[in-house]
Amino acid sequence: MAFAIPKTSYTGKIKEVVLGKGPKAITVGGETSYPFHLFEGEMPHPPRIAIEVYDTPPDDWSEAALEPYRDVISDPVAWAKKAAAYGADLIALQLVSTDPNGLNTSSDQATETAKKVAAAVDIPVIVNGSGSPEKDAELLRKVAEACDGMNLVIGPVVVENYKQIGAGAIAYKHTVAANSPIDINLAKQLNILLGNLGVPDGQVIVDPTTGGLGYGIEYTYSVMERDRMAALTQQDERLQFPIICDLAKEIWKTKEAKAEDSPLMGNAAKRGILMEAVTAQLLLLAGADLLIMRHPEAIKLVRGMISDLMA
Between 5 and 96, the more confident residue is 96
Report, as an integer, the average pLDDT of 157-161.
98
Give the pLDDT confidence score for residue 5 in this predicted structure. Answer: 82
Are 69 and 311 a contacting pair, CB within 8 Å?
no
Torsion from C-alpha of 165, 120, 246, 309, nearest 10 degrees: 130
Q: Which pLDDT tens digit goes with each residue over 227-244?
A: 999 999 999 999 999 999
In our burial notation (b when 16+ CB lie closer than 10 A, e otherwise), range 288-305 reads bbbbbbbbbbbbebbbeb
* Lateral strand order in the sheet of 244-246: 204-207, 175-179, 153-157, 125-128, 90-94, 48-54, 290-293, 244-246
Question: Partners of 293 in the beta sheet?
Answer: 51
Question: Whole-model pTM?
Answer: 0.96
Are 166 and 194 a contacting pair, CB within 8 Å?
yes
Give the pLDDT confidence score for residue 237 in this predicted structure. Answer: 96
Percentage of the chain beyond pLDDT 90 is 92
Q: Is the peptide bond before 156 cis (omega within 30 degrees of 0)?
A: yes
Give the pLDDT confidence score for residue 6 in this predicted structure. Answer: 87
CATH of 17-310, one of 2.70.70.10, 3.20.20.20, 3.40.50.2300, 3.40.50.40: 3.20.20.20
Are 194 and 176 a contacting pair, CB within 8 Å?
yes
Are 273 and 280 a contacting pair, CB within 8 Å?
no
Q: Which pLDDT tens digit goes with each residue over 15-51?
A: 999 999 999 999 999 999 999 999 999 999 999 999 9
Q: Which amino acid is at 54?
A: Y
Q: Which pLDDT tens digit goes with each residue over 166-224?
A: 999 999 999 999 999 999 999 999 999 999 999 999 999 999 999 999 898 999 999 99
Give the pLDDT confidence score for residue 3 in this predicted structure. Answer: 85
Q: How confident is the model at residue 94 (pLDDT cuts 50, 70, 90)?
A: very high
Report, as an integer, the average pLDDT of 248-270.
92
Q: Is the pLDDT of residue 2 over 90?
A: no
The DSSP code for 32 is S
Tell me what the pLDDT averaged over the chain comes to. 96
Report, as an integer, the average pLDDT of 116-136.
98
For residue 70, the number of C-alpha atoms closer than 13 Å in the C-beta half-sphere is: 7
Are 73 and 137 a contacting pair, CB within 8 Å?
no
Dist CA 223 CA 211 (whole Å): 11
Q: By C-alpha distance, which of 204, 174, 172, 175 is closest to 191? A: 204
User: Would you list the domain boundaries of the chain?
Assistant: 17-310
Q: Is the pLDDT of residue 1 over 80?
A: no
Helix (H) or strand (E) holding 273: helix 268-286
Q: Is the pLDDT of residue 292 over 80?
A: yes
Q: Is the pLDDT of residue 264 over 90?
A: no
For residue 73, the number of C-alpha atoms closer than 13 Å in the C-beta half-sphere is: 13
